Chain A
Amino acid sequence: MLKDSPLGKNNPLRKNNPLRKNWLSRTTLLSLMFLILILFASASHTLAHRVVLFAYVEGDMVYTESYFGDGKKCQNARIEVYDSLGNKLLEGKTDKEGEFSFKPPTREDLRIVLTASMGHRDEYVIPEGELPGGTEGRTRGSEPHKAVGNVLPSEKGWKEEAPSSQLSRLEMEQIRVVVEEALDEKLKPIMRLLGKQQKESFSFIGVIGGVGFIFGIMGIILYFKSRRGRDLKVPLDGS
């Protein structure tokens, strides 16, 4: 007999359907939310939808790399280079690896702008100090020799024992160039890594923070709503 009656336990709470339903729905909602959160957050280690451009200087060339947040290379995207006044210096398209390189035409802050498909865009600024030193500068090629050659005649007029010091200066210059080239080569991967990390911003904390923020807003709305329910006579204008 006891087994037959569903209300055998005669617990008043059992029959209280509205409360039970309410409680159930809240747990379902909460668990759904956590399910969504955990599933989504664990499924995605990468940024999905933005484009990243970074650039570095090696030798007398500027190299740029570009990729979407999920690691796909931006192929055939437009690259434009502007000087500090906003004049366009040159433009080009990225290759299959999402790379583009150019020789900087002037020695000043260069703003490189990438425009990819579907309204994606990113910028990278190379400060003047990182650029190879155009005409008065340090780099390879005949320029240092020329510079030395220009100075020499005037010096020769003053001092006769120039050759030895001239030789050492030339040697110094060459050593400097060679060392700088070697350093550039060695530092290249590190520069790339640093450039990438500087741009990387995805974080699990960001996801948690954002979701927390949304629920914080919800709390604020509910708080004001509950207050408004209590005293309706509070004037709404803040003056």
Chain B
Amino acid sequence: MHISEGVLSAPVLVTGAALTAAGCGIGLKKLDYDKVPQVAILTSAFFVASLIHVPIGPFSVHLVLNGLMGLLLGWPAFPAILIALFLQALLFQFGGITSLGVNTFNMALPAIFCFYLFRYAVKGRNDLISMGAAFACGFFGILMASFMVAISLVFTGDPFLGIAKVVVIAHLPVMVIEGLITLFSAGFLRKLKPELLEVAHAKR
């Protein structure tokens, strides 16, 4: 999921950085400052989650948790993922500093989609629908991020379908696992701390 330094060409890097900057701007503007601790906790969860690799299949893949972040944070997921990825690049050499913008955008945009697509269903009254939506949220987060990675790599000259197939198939186990994680987290929060499912957006 993390694209390394030196793989992408300059236009892709610049575009990614610009889009990420815009996303972070919106995220910071929408951030409700009472929710800052919640954002920080999810940032650290995201930061650590990438150290857990899923030993299924021939590829090296790991948890991402972007679906859960989107569901719980909304737009502030952008700056949160940026910080987490920056630290991963700095401390563990995941990805790289120059590809930070592209990587952030690849993982944060699906988070925003998850937020708008699944938030109401997860918060809804019906338990079954909520569970299904939570699973779909985790699943979709990785699925879309895989496609984003494939799209970014198209510009290196490889054919899109080939890369997309590899990336999506490699992340299938992760999608299922993240779906389950999101399901259990959302179920847990629904029962015990429903106010955390409210969005970290400022009310205005």
- Interface residues contributed by chain B, number (CB under 8 Å): 50
Inter-subunit contact A209/B91 (CB<8 Å): yes
Docked pose: A201 CA to B90 CA in angstroms: 10
Asked whether B159 is an interface residue with its Cβ less than 8 Å from the other chain, the reply is no
> Do A225 and B36 form a contact, CB below 8 Å, given A48-B60, A122-B4?
yes
Q: Does A47 lie within 8 Å of B4, measured CB to CB?
A: no
A-B CB contact pairs (8 Å), 15 listed:
A44-B51, A48-B51, A49-B1, A70-B55, A75-B58, A117-B166, A118-B3, A119-B4, A119-B156, A123-B6, A210-B88, A211-B47, A214-B83, A218-B37, A218-B40
Say whether B15 faces chain A, with CB atoms less than 8 Å apart.
no
Is A28 within 8 A of B44, CB to CB?
no
- Distance from A27 Cβ to chain B, minimum over Cβ atoms (Å): 12
Contact B51 A47 (CB under 8 A): yes
Query: When each residue 49-64 of chain B gets 1 if its CB lies under 8 Å from chain A and 0 otherwise, what string results?
Result: 1111101001111100
The number of residues on chain A lying at the interface, defined by a beta carbon within 8 Å of a beta carbon of chain B, is 47
Given contacts A46-B53, A201-B93, contact A70 B60 (CB under 8 A): yes
B3 near A119 with CB under 8 A, answer: yes
Give the docked Cα–Cα distance between A75 and B59 (Å).
10
Residues of A within 8 A of B5 (CB): 121
Select one of A41, A68, A225 contacting B33, CB under 8 A. A225
B contact face: mostly helix, strand, loop, or mixed: helix
Instruction: Tell me what chain A mostly uses at the interface: helix, strand, loop, or mixed.
Output: helix
Set of chain B residues within 8 Å of A213, measured between Cβ atoms: 87
Please indicate the chain B residues that have their CB under 8 angstroms from the CB of A25 in the complex: 193
Contact partners of B193 in chain A: CB under 8 A: 25, 28
- Residues of chain A contacted by B88 (CB below 8 angstroms): 210
Given A68-B60, A207-B91, A217-B40, 13 more A-B residue pairs with CB atoms under 8 Å apart are A36-B44, A37-B44, A40-B48, A47-B51, A51-B60, A118-B1, A119-B156, A120-B7, A123-B6, A207-B48, A215-B40, A217-B83, A218-B37
Q: Which of B41, B52, B93, B152 contacts A119 (CB 8 A)?
A: B152
Q: Nearest Cβ in chain A — how far from B12, in angstroms? A: 11
Which of A40, A119, A215 has the most B CB atoms < 10 Å from its CB?
A119
From 41 to 69 in chain A, residues with beta carbon under 8 angstroms from any chain B beta carbon are 41, 43-44, 46-51, 68-69
